[in-house]
Chains A and B, each alone.
Chain A
């Protein structure tokens, strides 16, 4: 090591160095790709060429590499990062390794994550704290299942910047076509994902082409090198700087009169004097002081921002404990014990509906059960599939019920308050990573926007009833495909009209040709279609009209939401209980035929369960009765309810 002389200059030299370096931005990124696509080699290159490898370490790697490496006389750079012996022996990276390195422009923390399929969980781990992902693709193999899986995971975990490094260009003669093929295949796939910035670079990691130095052999490529991109792409810090959230870690009560709440500001900023609420209880108070360890005699600060670890002293003696969240009263997170989240399942034993897990979110821990698997995501096609459980490495949307309410935001708008993990109570293993989606089911919940208030109508319900001669209700006809829902609704419509009543028929095809034209057939979309139909029905009811809604509505949970949304007094659930064999025989719309031919999937009663209603107001054997008779029975029920006379 070179001695530094002359001594007198040390303080000044260091000050200069600090001025240039202490404010360097930090970029956290992860690398992912298939086994053997060359991640470790790429990382080794980056570390080597940014002079981040100590010389004694390099010497040891050279020695190891000559003894056991795959590159003959060349140093196997993968040895720099493949830390664990077991991995080295198997020749695969099995875990996440973190490394720090610095260049003239930035500091980096890199998470090296494995490519082996069963280690998806490690990738999600690396991605959870990253701003950017480098996806390594072997130019010879192109975009594979693993590439798609990794892309999907980075996207789910909120990474919006991706570098696709098309590696081993030396093995395809530096051919531009090969590179373009990968780019086109990748773009076609990524189209279905949320917006992201993707850069494509042809590289040969082993020799260093386009890693930190521009490659002569890839002269047709004029874009930046991998390092240039890392140094210039925006540091899209995952921090939300707007919405103040402070999850309390600990109450500090060292002496009689001091009482403070220690924690790290998860997002936004707070100043002394700010009005705040302590959630979930909702108690209002003010921030009296923001306290930190004294520097130069000062132990109070004028502001604490996202990422700062501080202690808040509140103006009043309100109840506040670990797991509570302090926020501004006019900008509150969502509060609910029912949430929808995207889960990456990480355990051998599949996720089980109804089983109790521990859920950890910010500093809060609560028992939680999965009430429903909304759907599973097919990472190959990005389509949603019906599912009743999630297996190892599967990704899906679930609904959770928590024992104590969560105070949260959507992961998309606030990583810190939208992320959760699930823990198995027996094994104490982390079984899932979750990203809360306040919109997936949130829209079935009450809107949280305080500015929304319904305007009051000047026409009363009694006035409408008097004019129309009817009390508005919504009749929901549920049943299998072919059970006669629409036919019965139409027969009832005729009968009501003939009695001088005013009604509207809503059914799936009417909705999907209009209001729900933008929706597909995933579970989430079906749920949304149902919600829109019910909102529409409610509006029509408010106008005094009777609504006859013919929808399959196969899940108990969904139907009970409909009942709640419409209001139990105005809701009539009619189950058209024709047996599956009869429905299949009739098959008016040909779905059973197509399902049998394998052309159509997700058909109720075939590959999607139909949950028989236990709370139907009326159960009719529609196959035996026929639409007209069914309509008459419903009419009678409406009469006895007092809806019509």
Chain B
């Protein structure tokens, strides 16, 4: 028999500790809500969270569906990976939701800007899907270290009947006893990775040998520089300005979203070990490449109030 869980020496290995905490949260959610769903964004955090959920119910299977809110502007490699890993390898029930009105109106980040695109294709799309399926609890892979308004987020975060977050009406969370009562129309977002850092997620991906979207690894990619951000041209929907010259650069992504809104970083880290080492040495935050956070200081918080995840 293998050694006991936890430690041989002092303290528990911190990944084990984080893993156990996440599993506890995921199980509490399933025990306490009628219709949970796991939001799956195809990124590393979602992938780690999905793996934790599989662990929580093993040898059983996931007792809830997995939902991808598709803005229509994700990187091609993300779609490929999603279908190969989640549908194919894991064989999970994957719901994909797009805001049909948004699609009909041709909403996109290039034509409408990041604010409108994110609001219509992400925030509203999510709200539609939650209402459509009457989900009362939605798991998300957000972490407190991502952004400062997230640092105040609860593990079980209450949303009103309009799926909005009110930072002043948060419930106190004491110990690991979660208040999971809802009033009619209310729902919760559940964040099992609240206490994880970007580095923890990568160490976990390594330890659990999880596959991730290849865009996280450095490779020569065709990019342009716009407003200080390196954008990878994933298809030809973006019109170049006269002075913009695509060049081949060795880049990778620390976070993945809609391709015209997600900045790459220059890097030669092409393996998992190299990414982790790079991260250990880095002094920049992961969201630095996200265009939407820079709209205005405090903008992430505004989005959350409106119902963005």
Chain A residues with CB under 8 Å of chain B are 1-5, 7, 10-11, 13-14, 17-18, 22-26, 51, 54-57, 60, 63-64, 80-81, 83-86, 88, 94-100, 107, 109, 121-122, 124-125, 128-129, 235, 237, 249-250, 252-255, 258, 260, 262-264, 291-296, 298-305, 307-311, 322, 346, 358, 360-363, 415-416, 419-421, 423, 427-430, 433
Contacts and interface: CB of A to CB of B under 8 A. Distances in A.
Contacts of A304: 4-5
Contact of A262 (B1, B7, B27, B151): B27
Interface stretch (B38-46, B117-125, B166-174): B166-174
A429 B171 contact: yes
Nearest to B252: A1
B181 to A, nearest CB: 4
Contacts of B152: 83-84, 95-98
B172 A303 contact: no
Contacts of B144: 98-100
A592 B60 CA distance: 70
B126 interface: no
Interface in B259-307: 265-271, 273-274, 276-278, 280-285, 288, 297-298, 301-302
Contacts of A299: 58-59
Taking residues whose C-beta sits less than 8 angstroms from the other chain, chain B's interface range is 35 or more
A23 B174 contact: no
A305 B59 contact: no
A433 B28 CA distance: 19
Contacts of B2: 295-296, 298, 301-302
B240 interface: no
B27 A250 contact: yes
Contacts of B27: 249-250, 262-263, 309
A346 B172 contact: yes
Nearest to B15: A22
Contacts of B31: 249-250, 322, 363
Contacts of A88: 298
Nearest to A63: B297
Contacts of B179: 360, 421, 423, 428-430
Nearest to A301: B5
B55 interface: yes
Contacts of A361: 177
B273 A14 contact: yes
Nearest to A272: B1
Contacts, number: 232
Main secondary structure of the interface of B (DSSP, over half): loop
B90 interface: no
Interface of B: 1-7, 9-17, 19-21, 23-24, 27-28, 30-31, 54-61, 144-145, 148-149, 151-152, 167-168, 170-177, 179, 181-183, 186, 194-195, 197, 203, 265-271, 273-274, 276-278, 280-285, 288, 297-298, 301-302
Contacts of B20: 264, 307-309
Contact of A308 (B5, B55, B149): B5
B297 A64 contact: yes
A24 B14 contact: yes
A24 to B, nearest CB: 7
Q: Which 3 interchain pairs have the tightest Cβ spacing?
A: A254-B60, A54-B285, A303-B4
B284 A1 contact: yes
18 contacts: A7-B271, A13-B273, A56-B285, A81-B151, A86-B167, A125-B173, A249-B31, A252-B57, A296-B2, A299-B58, A301-B1, A302-B1, A305-B6, A309-B20, A358-B181, A420-B177, A423-B179, A433-B174
Nearest to A68: B297
Contacts of A98: 144, 151-152, 194-195
A31 B72 CA distance: 44
With a 10 A CB-CB cut-off, give which of A10, A125, A304, A363 has the most chain B CB atoms: A10
Nearest to B30: A250
B145 A99 contact: yes
A99 B285 CA distance: 14
Contacts of B7: 23
A258 B57 CA distance: 12
B11 A26 contact: yes
A242 to B, nearest CB: 15
A262 B15 CA distance: 20
Given A94-B168, A124-B174, A346-B172, A84 B4 contact: no
A89 B41 CA distance: 33
Contacts of A262: 27, 56-57
A433 B178 CA distance: 11
